[in-house]
Amino acid sequence: MRIASKAYKALIDLLAIIAGAMLVWLMVAIVLTVALRNLGLQPSAWFFVSTEYAMFYLTLLGAPWLVREKGHVYIELFTATLPKSFLNIHSRAVSLFCVVVCLVLAWKGYDLVMQNLSRNDYDVRAYFVPKWILTIVFPFCFFLMATEFLKFVVGKDILHSGEAGIKE
Partner 1 sequence: EERITAVHAFNTSLIYTRSFLEFVDKVNERGEGVIEIDVRGGPEVIGLSEQPDAVRNGIVDMAYTAASFYGGTVPERDIMVASNANAIYARESGGIDLLNQIHQDKMGVYYLGWFDSGVSYNLYTVDEPTIGDDGRLSVDGLKLRSNPVYDAFFRDYLGAEPISLPTTDVYAALERNVVNATGWTEIGLADLNWDRFLNYRIEPSFFSTDMGVIINLDSWNALSDEAKAILQEVAIEHERDSALTLAEDAKTQRAEMIDNGMQIVDLQGDVRDQFSESAREATWNRMRGLMERHPMGLEHYDSLVEMFNEL
Partner 2 sequence: MMEWYFALGFLLSLIVLFMGIGTPIALAFLAANVIGSWYFMGGQNGIIQLLNNGFGSLSKFSLVPIPLFLLMGELFFRSGLGMKMFNAIDQLMGKVPGRLSYVTVVGGTAFSTLSGSSMGSTALMGSLLVPEMTKRGYKKHMSIGPILGTGGLAIIIPPSALAVLLGTLAKIDIAQLLIAGIIPGLILALFYIITIWVRTRLDPDAAPVYELEPVPFLAKIKLVLTDIIPMVGVMVIIVMMMLSGLATPSESAAFGALGVIILGFVYRKMSWGVFTQSVSGALKVTLMAYLIVFGSATFSQLLAFSGASSGLIEWATSYDLAPIYMLLAMFGVLLLLGTFMEQISIMMLTVPFFFPLAETLGFDLIWFGIIILLALEISFTTPPFGLLLFVMKGVAPAGTSMREIYTAAIPYILCSMLLVALMIIYPPIATWLPGMIN
**Which secondary-structure segment (H or E) carries 130?**
strand 128-130
Near partner 2 by CB under 8 A: residue from 15, 109, 136, 140: 109
Is residue 46 a contact residue for partner 2 (CB under 8 A)? no
What gap in Å lies between CA 108 and CA 110, rounded to an integer? 5
CA dist list (Å): 56 to 61, 152, 154: 9, 26, 30
Near partner 2 by CB under 8 A: residue from 104, 126, 127, 154: 104
Of 6-14, 43-51, 94-102, 157-165: span binding partner 1 (CB under 8 A): 43-51
Q: Helix (H, G, I), strand (E, B), or coil: what is residue 157?
A: coil
Letters for 110-139 (x = contact with partner 2 by CB under 8 A, - = none) are -xx--x------------------xx--x-
Of 34-42, 81-89, 94-102, 159-167: span binding partner 1 (CB under 8 A): 34-42
**Residue 49 vs 96, nearer CB to partner 1:** 49
Is residue 91 a contact residue for partner 2 (CB under 8 A)? yes
Amino acid residing at 22: M
How many amino acids of this chain bind partner 1 (CB under 8 A)?
18
What gap in Å lies between CA 25 and CA 41, rounded to an integer? 20
Contact of residue 119 among partner 2, partner 1, none (CB under 5-8 Å per partner type): partner 1
What gap in Å lies between CA 56 and CA 138, rounded to an integer? 10
What gap in Å lies between CA 66 and CA 62, rounded to an integer? 6
